[in-house]
Amino acid sequence: MIMEKEMLSIKKEGGGFEFLARMNIIDRMRRKNTRLAIIDNSLDPSIYNPIRHWKICLDRDFDVFRATENNFPDIKDFTHIILTGSEASILNKEEWVEDEIQVIKEAAERGVSLLGSCYGHQLLAVALAGARHVRECAHPEIGWIAVEIIRSDDFLGRKRRAYCFSSHLDEVVDLPEEFLVFASSKHCLIQAFRLRNTPIWGLQIHPEMDIYEAQKYLRKRVKSKHEPLKLFQEAMNSSPRDSGLIHNVLEKFFT
């Protein structure tokens, strides 16, 4: 009822201000109806803290669930779920992975919007296509990489070359036709996908990590002497370049 009164009063304003005000109300209504859960797949948040990264770029509240503690959302309580990255390898399944796979399948069946980043991207592929669609990278990508957006899409925008932070040793491969691939890189053919006709997206890259957070992450990896140490060192000493893909990603995900 309050929204209806606001809309009626705005109609009296006219012009561009009327349009902007209407859009603001629609945006508030969307936020009110959005219930977001983030499944945190990190192993050691003192080194890799995906909740911090997502909190910086999100403009809405969310609930956090720690996969390593077998703590997962009740699907019926949420409209959107983000699956974070992880220091774990998708090829060496942790104890909690099978439970998360079941959560993903149920969410997909219920039409929940799903977004997976890095490990979450790989986990979506395993849950919805099968384990044979992930493998170890021949060429790990660590640092800021060039990403070719090969199909114009609201999710990443128009066809072009963009730049984003990356940190992965495994990758998604050979997806079936139900998946639309719309971004790739020199060493990874599937940087982004969508399960056709669904609100389900996977991103191998880390658009949620801005330059400052990515550099801090790299320093921690080097200090902890995590392998491949040489690649982490090279990335830490490289020149960062970020195209701000996160803005398109979040606008599309919550539309």
User: Catalytic positions, please?
Assistant: 118, 206, 208
Other C-beta atoms closer than 10 Å to the C-beta of 234 total 13
Taking a C-beta distance cutoff of 8 angstroms, is the pair 217, 235 a contact?
no
Whole-number Å distance between alpha carbons of 180 and 194: 5
Other C-beta atoms closer than 10 Å to the C-beta of 36 total 21
3-state percent breakdown (helix, strand, coil) of the chain, nearest 5: 40, 25, 35
Residue 162, classified by CB atoms within 10 Å of its CB into exposed (0-12), middle (13-18) or buried (19+), is: buried
